[in-house]
Amino acid sequence: MKKFLLFIFTFSMFSAFASKPKNQYVRMVTPYGTCIIKLYNETPLHRDNFIKLVKEEYYNGTTFHRVIKDFMIQGGDPNSKSGDPDLIIGEGGPKYTIPAEINDSLFHKKGALGAARESDDVNPLKASSGSQFYLVQGKVFNDDQLNTLEQKRLKFKLPEWQRQVYKTVGGAPHLDRNYTVFGEIVEGLDVVDKIAAVETGTNDRPKQDVRIEVSMLRKREAKKLEKLLLKNLAK
């Protein structure tokens, strides 16, 4: 009887573990649509911090305060909740930074989620902002453009598989190995294009606030999404 109960317990624990999603996902709702973002397990400090802030509803009501077409859209400053058009936004956030988790295999393709940070002159270790982030729009590059970028700015060769992504999907390769990429949009990529097209004013701030609501995807939703992504990948 005890062996039987132990078997049931072990099987239940195995089933519970096996049913867990491989990754964690967040849902970002904007006036221009909704996107789903996968958080990378390879960047646990950034992943866990982002999850913490999402669960605290830290991002709800904030805006994309800096929008540059063909480059990226930036948000995560709690000061943007005020709605004051004269307020300079971009310096807000929790009173801590996150150590860089720069990974050569996690790059700035279109839809990548990256951590904003202060410049190298005051931040040589490339530590990330505690809350501010950006989503890459970027653009499509050709071989000549990538070659020039490698020689004059990057000072390293991009892996061939990354070059193929930049030549087809697009992105912002000049940011590679300088900022931590800790996630990517897996659904709703068009939202970035729509927001990147809004009219902007001083300091690249949208003339009309682009507010966001961010929440965690539930385990059941995440598991269903992963099955769909796997199915699409197999096609």
Residues in contact with 215: Cβ distance below 8 Å, sequence separation at least 6, in sequence order: 26, 27, 29, 54
pLDDT digits (tens, 9 = 90+) for 175-186: 999 999 999 999
Residues in contact with 8: Cβ distance below 8 Å, sequence separation at least 6, in sequence order: none
Kindly report the backbone phi and psi dihedral angles of residue 179, in degrees, each rounded to the nearest multiple of 5, phi listed first. -130, 150
* pLDDT level of residue 7 (50, 70, 90 thresholds): very low
Tokens of 219: 């385990």
Give CA 115 to chain center in angstroms.
Answer: 7
Give CA–CA dist 136/108, Å, rounded: 7
Whether the per-residue pLDDT at 75 is higher than 80: the answer is yes
Element (H, E) at 227: helix 219-234
Q: Quote the pLDDT of residue 232.
A: 85
* pLDDT level of residue 21 (50, 70, 90 thresholds): confident
Residue pair 66/205 in contact (Cβ under 8 Å)? The answer is yes
- What's the pTM? 0.91
Check residue 138 and give left, alpha or beta (phi > 0: left; psi -120 to 50: alpha).
left
Whether the per-residue pLDDT at 159 is higher than 80: the answer is yes
Q: Quote the pLDDT of residue 83.
A: 82
User: Domain map of the chain by residue range?
Assistant: 24-234
CATH architecture assigned to 24-234? Beta Barrel (2.40)
* pLDDT level of residue 19 (50, 70, 90 thresholds): low
- Burial level of 231, CB count in 10 A (0-12/13-18/19+)? exposed
> How confident is the model over 6-13, as a mean pLDDT?
43
DSSP 78: G
Kindly report the backbone phi and psi dihedral angles of residue 33, in degrees, each rounded to the nearest multiple of 5, phi listed first. 125, 180
